[in-house]
Structure 1
Amino acid sequence: MRAYYMDEDPSDQRLPHDSGVAVPEEILDKLGVLRWYIPVDAEGKWESQVDVIADERSYRNRDIVFVTKEGMGDQFEANLKKFYHEHMHEDEEIRYIIEGGGYFDVRESPTDSWIRLHLGSGDMIVLPAGIYHRFGLDTNMRSRTMRLFKDEPKWIAHYRGEHTDTNPFRIDYLKNLQSNGVAVGA
């Protein structure tokens, strides 16, 4: 996984948009972004390593989503737009990339800058509840991803706006940032 600040170029979201400024791991830690690298192997050893993390974090359900034109059919373009629209969740978002790759963009506090995380096969990430983020595919336009859930599999996005700024999960996230020594914007 690579982490860097995004440039300000609004063109094709599949491009790297690398500003050339790397994001230190300490910043990701303060933002609550957890990450692991678990190589995908033919023997399936990766599954037991994912299971350990899932058990530690109380994840009981999972599914595998194929973010491809073939996997999503007519809903492919609509889903990509939905995933890339800035949002937050009231649960952690935990993903393990089995094949392909993509970008998770997260908002830094208090600057509100976009930090781009480029994930590929073997990368696992946990985004905390309440963090503003979005997802997009890279130029390979495919990702086979395991999604893990504490309860039944669901994906409920709360798109950024006045309502989400006052969402209790967003407020708790900002309080956690402050306890980690991160300044929080107004």
Structure 2
Amino acid sequence: MVQAWYMGDLSADDDQRLPHKTEPFEELSLDQLKERTGCLYWKIEDEDVENSPLVEKIRQERGYNYKDVITVSPDKLENYETKIKSFFEEHLHSDEEIRLILEGSGYFDVRDTDDRWVRVLVERGDLLVLPAGSYHRFTCCSKNYIKACRLFCGEPVWKPYPRGEESDKMTARAEYLKQMTAAA
């Protein structure tokens, strides 16, 4: 099932690829993850994760009609160090970010309703949906390898908007905050 927890403090010198759990450890259940961040999560148990009937059902129900596969590792992603640093900069998107993990592992960090970081470990078979307008970031774990299927509604939107005054005023951010307030 989902593995999510509140992150401890992370300094500029700390390795972002480590778990960074709080002391004492503050784990979140699936319900708490959804309630505090708006994230959706499914565990895909089928042997063929990418072509699972459950994934197909979710794609149809949520309108995900485009997909591609990305491998994030030093030998598969050009300019790996630069890219992994850019993935770890806090940002939001105007559309949902949907990832189905095919191999490897990594961490999605998502801001909760109190602006605290929640770290979500994603591994093979995890399908995670980050809501449009939610501040988040991504990093590989210490193995430096993850292969993920990226799903989209329509044409893919890749543009990240760094956290700041401009992104705080975006429609996607306002809608996300409204949705999270209504759910509370």
After TM superposition, the score normalised by the length of structure 2 is 0.92
- Aligned-partner SS, 2:180: helix
Name the structure 2 match of 1:180: 183
Corresponding position: 1:51 with 2:52 = no
Structure 2 alignment gaps of length 5 or more: none
The one-letter amino acid of 1:63's match is D
Name the structure 1 match of 2:98: 94
From 120, 141, 146, the counterpart of 2:144: 141
Size of the alignment, in residue pairs?
A: 177
- The CA deviation at 1:23 is 1.6
Deviations 1:14-68 (A, max 9, x none): 0110111112333222232100000251xx2651321111111101110000001
Cα contact 1:37–1:123 (8 A) shared by 2: yes
Identity among equivalent positions (%) equals 39
Name the structure 2 match of 1:15: 18
- The CA deviation at 1:132 is 0.3
Structure 1 alignment gaps of length 5 or more: 182-186
Q: Aligned equivalents of 1:132 and 1:90: distance in 2?
A: 11
The one-letter amino acid of 1:90's match is S
After TM superposition, the score normalised by the length of structure 1 is 0.91
The one-letter amino acid of 2:141's match is D
Cα contact 1:66–1:142 (8 A) shared by 2: yes
The one-letter amino acid of 1:87's match is H
Query: Aligned-pair RMSD on alpha carbons?
Result: 1.3
More helix per residue: 1 or 2? 1
Name the structure 2 match of 1:26: 31
- Aligned-partner SS, 1:72: coil
Cα contact 1:39–1:46 (8 A) shared by 2: no
Name the structure 2 match of 1:108: 112
Cα contact 1:88–1:159 (8 A) shared by 2: yes
From 39, 45, 63, the counterpart of 2:45: 39
